[in-house]
Amino acid sequence: ADVTTAIDSRYDSHSTSLSSKLDNTAKWVNYSNPTLKYKLYYPKQWVGNRTFENRTDYLQTYERFLSTKVNLKLTVTKTFNIPQNAQHAIFGKNTFDFYTDQDNLKSAVAKYNNLYYNIDLSQNSYFATPLEFKGFFFQLLKKIEFLN
């Protein structure tokens, strides 16, 4: 019984999460796009990536992900309709309109250089709690750099 209890507690999803394995933000890696004038920092553990460019409705979408557990997507567009219920907030040097705050999805948009930078972070049991997920999203927004 003691062995079973130890194994059960070791794999209890409430006691650990994949996000607990992330490096602190100082060790994050970055993707830089000098043409669209931004630098996006993300955990090096998020190894999957996709880039789509010059589509009809956007200039670029850049994604980083880890399997189906977490997906970070930054989409750059020339236009964007900011929802009326968006919360205007400053994260580090950046001003964003935070408009989606769900347990599995956070979204915010920033306007710089006459472009809109829309950031979506979705998760599927990656973060242990909704508060941890929200805090991580805010850290991510602080680390985005807009270039002149």
Instruction: Yes or no: say if 115 and 59 are a contact pair by the CB < 8 Å rule.
Output: yes
Per-residue pLDDT of the chain (148 residues; tens, 9 = 90+): 454 444 444 444 444 576 777 778 889 999 999 999 999 999 998 988 888 887 788 899 999 999 899 999 999 999 999 999 999 999 888 999 999 999 999 999 999 999 999 999 999 999 999 999 999 999 999 999 999 8
Instruction: Yes or no: say if 49 and 124 are a contact pair by the CB < 8 Å rule.
Output: no
* pTM, to two decimals: 0.85
Q: How far apart are alpha carbons 110 and 146 in whole angstroms?
A: 10
